[in-house]
């Protein structure tokens, strides 16, 4: 049932701010990364000039048009525009000169097998070692090591240390809270999930037809106390990862994937009324199965993904509404106990903005998720590599008996399939065997009769 929660203005903000003890330090420039330059024509006038300024001594094709020069590119562009002018959109000169800004999405990655720092650099487990970034309409995902050479200047334009090329432009990317899983979605609806702690791709998912992803989020998981440091399971074969996907049409999907299983669940569809369209979603670390949903109309709901029920609805104080509900401004602390939402009020021509803070600990639905955490199984102890190899070999030996029992059945099925193929290729063949009273292998006689029989001459 829906529980209407109204936050009054009597919330003691001073008590909340007194608990926050932070020291602000001046920022230090570590790295300056610029978007990659687009491909352009060659600056050399002739192939011989390029040969003189390069270290290589071989050029494929010594003709006049081996390298495309600027004048040739301009000539081809004029030819194309003159021939297909009726199909081209007419734009103003000012708009054509303006360049669209390129937005960047970046993440900080902890050390793992995907990003090797080398034996000479001892990286701490909680210190980021890699910086990943991708720009809008870009096919490449670039990685930069934060441990730069000492001779390199911070304001220089470094080249990426690792590049992951993709078949389609990257739309959005996200990183799990423990930095063990990294996912990105492309314009071709393909979602790739990497296990950076192991160094291998975990799985690949595809959205349903006619749906395009706008952003993706990792669903948090409740883990035992010993596994709080890393969210990756000791058994990757049974690991399940959930992704929350918000599409461009306002529909919401919950994708559950593993190494051998994939499930898709529709949490919200595109409504007929535009005001009921989902504008943003957020996950809460302390509520693994809950999703915070923002609507264009200004409604904020908390949904349980296991039952598809609305747990509660957050409401602002009277005469206030959510500021820019189509792109709400909100934040949540790292422990998932406080939610801050920006609201606004319009009195006459004057507009006033205020921040509302919700304390999840005071709500009754927290007890339901607390019981889930208590029912979790105990965490498996940390094992060495030798012990893990022993367990792996013992499991294979136990499976060997089961496989040996299944071998006769599989062999009989293979023989039946081979006989079926033989009949289809060579026709019906009747094979029978005759032997003496004391048969021997050398005395076995095989008679083959073709169907239908052919008369002998």
Q: Is 103-222+238-270 a domain of CATH 2.60.40.3880?
A: no
User: In percent, how much of the chain has pLDDT > 90?
Assistant: 2
Write down the domain spans for the chain. Answer: 39-83, 103-222+238-270, 284-293+305-365
- The residue assigned the tokens 């033989």 is 422
Note the pLDDT of residue 82. Answer: 76
Cα 434 to Cα 143, 206, 419, 430, 451, distances in angstroms: 74, 60, 21, 13, 20
pLDDT at 77: 81
Q: pTM for the whole thing?
A: 0.60
> How far is it, in rounded angstroms, from Cα 165 to Cα 36?
13
* Spatial CA neighbour of 356 closest among 333, 375, 330, 385: 330
Q: From CA 341, how far away is CA 327, in angstroms rounded? A: 12
In angstroms and rounded to an integer, the radius of gyration of the C-alpha atoms of the chain is: 32
- Distance CA(284)–CA(103), nearest Å, equals 26
pLDDT of residue 90: 53
pLDDT digits (tens, 9 = 90+) for 147-175: 877 666 766 778 888 888 888 889 999 99
Average pLDDT over residues 100-121: 70
Q: Does residue 164 contact residue 177 with C-beta atoms inside 8 Å? A: no
Return the structure tokens found at 38: 């687009």
Closest residue by Cα to residue 175 from 207, 208, 143 = 143
Mean pLDDT, rounded, of the chain:
72
Beta strands 200-206; 190-195: pairing state: antiparallel
Beta-carbon contacts of residue 125 (< 8 Å; ≥ 6 apart)? 110, 111, 229
Provide the pairing of β-strand 213-218 with 309-315: unpaired
pLDDT on residue 24: 64
Helix (H) or strand (E) holding 432: strand 429-434
Tokens in use for 273?
């009324």
Predicted local distance difference test score (pLDDT) of residue 173: 92
Tokens of 124: 């701490």
């Amino acid at each position: 049932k829906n529980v209407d929660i109204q936050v009054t203005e009597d919330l003691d903000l001073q008590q909340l701010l007194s608990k926050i003890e932070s020291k602000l330090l001046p920022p230090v420039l570590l790295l300056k990364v610029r978007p990659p330059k687009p491909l352009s024509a060659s600056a050399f006038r002739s192939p011989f000039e390029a040969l003189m300024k390069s270290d290589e001594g071989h050029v494929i094709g010594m003709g006049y048009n081996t390298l495309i020069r600027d004048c040739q590119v301009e000539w081809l562009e004029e030819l194309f525009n003159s021939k297909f002018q009726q199909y081209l959109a007419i734009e103003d000169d000012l708009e054509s000169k303006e360049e669209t800004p390129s937005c960047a999405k970046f993440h900080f990655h902890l050390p793992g097998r995907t990003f090797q720092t080398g034996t000479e650099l001892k990286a701490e487990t909680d210190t980021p070692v890699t910086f990943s970034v991708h720009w809008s309409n870009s096919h490449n995902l670039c990685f930069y090591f934060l441990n730069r050479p000492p001779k390199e200047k911070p304001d220089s334009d470094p080249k990426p240390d690792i590049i992951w090329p993709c078949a389609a432009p990257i739309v959005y990317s996200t990183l799990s809270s423990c930095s063990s899983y990294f996912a990105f979605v492309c314009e071709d609806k393909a979602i790739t999930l990497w296990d950076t702690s192991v160094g291998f791709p975990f799985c690949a998912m595809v959205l349903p037809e006619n749906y395009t992803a706008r952003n993706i989020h990792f669903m948090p998981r409740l883990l035992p106390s010993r596994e709080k440091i890393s969210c990756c399971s000791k058994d990757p074969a049974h690991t399940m990862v959930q992704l929350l996907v918000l599409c461009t049409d306002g529909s919401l999907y919950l994708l559950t994937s593993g190494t051998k299983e994939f499930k898709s669940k529709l949490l919200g569809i595109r409504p007929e009324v535009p005001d009921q369209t989902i504008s943003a979603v957020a996950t809460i670390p302390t509520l693994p199965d809950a999703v915070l949903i923002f609507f264009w109309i200004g409604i904020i709901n908390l949904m349980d993904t296991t039952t598809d029920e609305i747990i509660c609805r957050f409401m602002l104080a009277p005469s206030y509404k959510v500021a820019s509900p189509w792109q709400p401004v909100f934040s949540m602390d790292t422990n998932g106990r406080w939610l801050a939402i920006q609201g606004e009020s319009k009195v006459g021509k004057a507009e006033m903005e205020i921040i509302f803070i919700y304390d999840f600990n005071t709500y009754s639905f927290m007890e339901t998720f607390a019981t889930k955490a208590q029912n979790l199984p105990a965490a498996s102890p940390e094992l060495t590599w030798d012990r893990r190899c022993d367990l792996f070999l013992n499991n294979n030996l136990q499976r060997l008996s089961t496989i040996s029992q299944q071998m006769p059945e599989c062999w009989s099925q293979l023989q039946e399939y081979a006989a079926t193929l033989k009949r289809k290729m060579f026709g019906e063949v009747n094979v029978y065997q005759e032997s003496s009273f004391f048969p021997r292998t050398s005395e076995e006689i095989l008679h083959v009769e073709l169907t239908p029989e052919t008369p002998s001459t």
